[in-house]
Chains A and B, each alone.
Chain A
């Protein structure tokens, strides 16, 4: 964090930061001030893939100065590309391992081997089964589900052909992928191949390296992530609109506060159940608490919000501050985006940090490993331990009085339903209003928080500017939580922030101008929404034809790079911001390729700016360019039909 910038625009963070200082707690913002990012690593110019290095090959300070190469001769381009695709590998593996976990649980549930999980949405079961080429006619649901589970699981280790769900992409997109030879064979294989190719002395052409990155990223977005989303929907239900609240103000002083933090719903779904358990509720009473207050943080929050309306306590950079309130009796974590510092922050208060996932432990945390075979009991054990901890609260409890209402639950299926009801469900009204100009375009605004920039500020400036310009925003992850805290996920926000056209459409459908589509694996929902828009017609034949753009305004994780890349190669112009630089800026060649040349091949490209207003302008300019290409920049005449015109209808 640069000294001259405020740490956050979120009042809860500002208030609790003061308390943390008073309590002698060191937070991510303090560390950001103490430690600058490594300038060479930040630009992707450091190679530490063999013991001859690490080799640093930064851009020459002056134009025309000497460009260093690694000891092995690796150029800055090769090194930047290698580092970049290793980030893709990291991100894709995170999503895909999540997906694999869901697939394993799904298969066990399908077989009836784990009592607390079952197929809940049969319609989506049939649909996904059809997508995966599984016969559904005249078969028991159980048989279909078992075959689907087996087939889904096999997608991860698949070695030949290509991932089945790629078939859902628009035809033109598939043609591009086929032509470029980037259809991923299996989810894991492409990730492993990244690790091989980037090993010392293997693939040493930046375009060739980036192509492998593309394969793995597609395997993430259209493979691992999509399977995770779809299978979770079948197990836990397709999200439908729910009302809830967001920000640390959802914590309750007189109740046992449990925060589920991380990414997967497998455990948190069970904790939701356990938190309603009468026995545990009376235990809580006996310990002097008025109830059990469950809330979520990061994408676990989004998962249980979307399906149960569980409130959200905060996003990534609020995890430490939740503990600083002194009101959190247990923070239950699984995987991804969990700061190791939680344990040291918790040591100043009574909060129990409970690690649960076999893949993720933290030194000094309480460990209650979660097993799906005994899921509800694992969850009850966790909740019980939180209740037991209620009495250990010490010091002052400060819960900031800030929270906002929100409407969430906008799965792709739900949007489709909302736009036409059970009988006329389609994206047609959205397309129509894009064509007639009430809606200028669609933006996907997703991603993390980054302590190198003022917490939440980029998300908010960007989103508000977009909706002011009649661009409807689809959001996920920590970006969605930011929007929720600001009240942007309410229908009322359309009146306060949206341009007149978007406002009118929001009013007609009764939706907020910013639609919460879920967690970061649920970015696959945005891909499906974009595909649905393409297939509904009138806006070109491919995602790259749509007046649409993507953004991660405060990106931080490797997952963001993987997501960004699969959006770009799916045809979306995608802008990043939030970091001080971009991890390929150490190579002009790689930058030029990702930021310019890719557009010719894939129709989408990367971009970066540190200014969120500039980001909005770039996205709107791109949207306008696409509108023009579609001939939507001019007003359309009303077409009146006579009988002859009706006969022309097919």
Chain B
């Protein structure tokens, strides 16, 4: 079972110096339960002894669920045999709750048998009516047994019908249940938990009676930036169905995620949380206490129940409490108010629908800063992924149909008027639904702290700031921007000037320390748009040349990024002009600006001080900083090496490079590639190895942009070491890569690098690069 050593296990079981807890091993049943041999059923005692009612019902539910899983497993083994593969689609975390809690990999049906034994050992005796034994600990164990059993039940569904749930982020017309989130979704969405755009999630069981209420609650949760994970039905009603009937878009993109029609689908939410702890928190599978505490402290999730709470639901509730996720019910079920396992109350009930969201947030101890923007539609990151399609389109600009361009420039304080928003040309009211217009969004900002360097940073915000508005879809940036406005938004009174309102409000809110004035002009007249376009293109070129000209040698200080310490407490990014943050979202200029904006924030200047090793990219000042910021966990970091003290990775990396020893080189794989790679691991497995703030020589998380930097693993020889990367990534970076390859005198390097069309094993890579005479063959040994 758990591969952890005895000492570790004993210590994990106990934070004190004496033996706490029981060994959670398949071989050692929990003695506690063996002794509690008295068992009679329990009736609702009404009013008094409320926790007892919950514990009794939950334990009863857990018994039924474990029995169900046991039976299902036996039938499945009879049907498909013990060696039948079982997995959630495209995940390196097996059945993630079981893997996280027990460190046990379920890959085949037979691997479930030992888990069933664990469940049975965890199941306590039913709670006696009078003179009962203490039940809190046993009830929490019952909750965990529930999750293990439900995870197995849900996994077996995938054997029965691989398409039981829709794969990917979007619902289809025939099925809106999405089931397990694959690792691509988990990482992409997990990053939002890391950077705070999503503070947590609401796991919803059932549905309220009125679909309008369902839509209102969903909207309220979206406005609080929370993910909404939906499972189960109440009297046959399901919340996603209600939302769809109300015209609300569901799917990962709008953060309204239908998991499954049964309460067992709640495990997809819990599995997501468990994976977050392992991938972003760097917690070892099997280190159950840390995973649970991580969730209690860092994943701000809670459960909301609608309607009758069955024994099954109570059992799931007990499981949630283990994770520190409280339960908020709209019905008058018993409450558990004393604190301890959750941060505050454990179960709060009979909450009216009007206040259920705010109550849940208060009980969870979450502070959500809601952006107030003066627009007639809802606004927040939850609406970023919403699509505007087909008949819903009122207005479209850009996207190859018309020109659309965005430009932010700094201006003289006296030349612009703060808050002046002007639309030059036709507005929405002036055109028919389904129209197209050219568009230029021209923003002028001024402020004592404003610098020209900050212009592109502000400009890059336009994409998500506009996208945050409900009913507005925005893609791209600069002169490839693309905007769609939905009819629903126009119905609510949305005008093009609202784009200016958004930018004005948000720029002040987020960048108030560097700017004092924001003026926005929106052009929809062809001639004016073309004028701006020409001006913009000249400015873009100037900017690109400037950042491209910066080198690590000429620049001091570097900047740190510890944004992800909310999730990976020992991780420290060092961002240099030639090495962007591994998420790809922060380059040196971004960090500099962020520091100006928030001098005590996660981006701090890191003075280089003396160079310790120029080839490896090691500086005294960087080491000092890393050591301090990682709280002593990481003492030194080499900026340019994959083999010697590579930088830590949080979990947000766009790509991972890994050593291929027999090829004397490295491969790199990006997060969108789900297939097996020549190092024998999929991206997701690699991510599990690399992430969580660990130093892992031979592996490196990095941005895609960094691949074409002069400093990309310069210590080992740079891009000449690259022997494999996915074809799609090759295409994505081809131009920049070829330029860099030419600089090192090997212009066709990219074609000498293998991809999945020619090699999927390390051997095949070696064959390919030998045939292509890849320069790595003549380089000094990497190890």
B720: CB under 8 A from chain A? no
B333-346 interface code vs A (CB 8 A; 1 in, 0 out): 00011111100101
**Quick one: which of B18, B20, B132 contacts A425, CB cutoff 8 A?**
B20
> How far is A123 from B566 in the complex, measured between Cα atoms in Å?
34
From A318-326, A351-359, A372-380, A490-498, the one touching the partner chain is A490-498
A265-283 interface code vs B (CB 8 A; 1 in, 0 out): 0000000000000000000
Nearest opposing residue in chain A for B21, CB measure: A425
In chain B between 29 and 61, which residues have their CB closer than 8 angstroms to a CB of chain A? Answer: 30-32, 35-36, 38, 48-52, 55
Q: Which residues of B contact A420 (CB under 8 A)?
A: 136-137, 140, 340-341
Q: If A491-B131, A507-B52, A638-B362 touch, does A128 touch B339 (CB 8 Å cutoff)? A: no
Interface pair A419/B137, CB less than 8 Å apart: yes
Nearest opposing residue in chain B for A130, CB measure: B10
> How far is A419 from B23 in the complex, measured between Cα atoms in Å?
16
A124: CB under 8 A from chain B? yes
Interface pair B18/A240, CB less than 8 Å apart: no
In chain A between 395 and 437, which residues have their CB closer than 8 angstroms to a CB of chain B? Answer: 405, 407, 409, 412-414, 416-426, 428-430, 432-433, 436
A113: CB under 8 A from chain B? no
**Shortest distance between the CB of B212 and any CB in chain A (Å):** 29
**Quick one: which of B50, B127, B368 contacts A507, CB cutoff 8 A?**
B50
Nearest opposing residue in chain A for B334, CB measure: A507
Q: Which residues of B contact A242 (CB under 8 A)?
A: 35, 133
From A88-96, A194-202, A249-257, A527-535, the one touching the partner chain is A527-535
**Quick one: which of B7, B21, B51, B127 contacts A416, CB cutoff 8 A?**
B21
**Shortest distance between the CB of A176 and any CB in chain B (Å):** 18
> How far is A613 from B115 in the complex, measured between Cα atoms in Å?
54
Interface pair B51/A167, CB less than 8 Å apart: no
B144: CB under 8 A from chain A? yes
**Shortest distance between the CB of B636 and any CB in chain A (Å):** 21
A493-518 interface code vs B (CB 8 A; 1 in, 0 out): 00100000000110111110000000
B79: CB under 8 A from chain A? no
A238: CB under 8 A from chain B? yes
Best-buried of A639, A641, A649 by chain B (most CB within 10 Å)? A641
A600: CB under 8 A from chain B? no
Interface pair A423/B322, CB less than 8 Å apart: yes
A122: CB under 8 A from chain B? yes
A61: CB under 8 A from chain B? no
Interface size class on chain B is 35 or more
> How far is A642 from B367 in the complex, measured between Cα atoms in Å?
5
In chain B between 604 and 629, which residues have their CB closer than 8 angstroms to a CB of chain A? Answer: none
> How far is A423 from B20 in the complex, measured between Cα atoms in Å?
11
Q: If A417-B22, A429-B338 touch, does A639 touch B10 (CB 8 Å cutoff)? A: no
Interface pair A424/B19, CB less than 8 Å apart: no
Interface pair A492/B289, CB less than 8 Å apart: no
**SS class of chain A's interface: helix, strand, loop or mixed?**
helix
A-B contact count (CB 8 A): 233
Interface pair A407/B322, CB less than 8 Å apart: no
> How far is A508 from B131 in the complex, measured between Cα atoms in Å?
15
**Shortest distance between the CB of A365 and any CB in chain B (Å):** 35
> How far is A638 from B339 in the complex, measured between Cα atoms in Å?
12
A640: CB under 8 A from chain B? yes
Q: If A405-B131, A510-B134, A643-B566 touch, does A422 touch B144 (CB 8 Å cutoff)? A: yes
Nearest opposing residue in chain A for B288, CB measure: A423
In chain B between 90 and 127, which residues have their CB closer than 8 angstroms to a CB of chain A? Answer: 101, 122, 127
**Shortest distance between the CB of B584 and any CB in chain A (Å):** 20
Interface pair B369/A127, CB less than 8 Å apart: no
In chain B between 124 and 181, which residues have their CB closer than 8 angstroms to a CB of chain A? Answer: 127, 130-141, 143-144
Interface pair B13/A505, CB less than 8 Å apart: no
B415: CB under 8 A from chain A? no
A126: CB under 8 A from chain B? yes
Could you jot down 15 A-B contacts, CB within 8 Å?
Answer: A121-B19, A128-B19, A240-B36, A241-B35, A407-B131, A413-B18, A421-B144, A423-B292, A423-B322, A492-B131, A508-B336, A511-B134, A642-B366, A642-B368, A650-B569
Residues of B within 8 A of A (CB): 5-7, 10-11, 13-24, 28, 30-32, 35-36, 38, 48-52, 55, 101, 122, 127, 130-141, 143-144, 195-196, 199, 288-289, 292-293, 297-298, 300, 322, 336-341, 344, 346, 362, 365-369, 562-563, 565-566, 569, 602, 631
Which 8 A-B pairs have CB atoms at the shortest separation, nearest pair first? A429-B340, A421-B140, A127-B19, A643-B196, A640-B367, A510-B135, A425-B21, A642-B367
Additional A-B contacts beyond A122-B23, A130-B10 (16; CB < 8 A): A131-B18, A238-B31, A407-B133, A418-B136, A421-B139, A423-B144, A423-B289, A428-B340, A433-B339, A436-B338, A504-B338, A507-B50, A509-B136, A510-B133, A536-B15, A642-B199
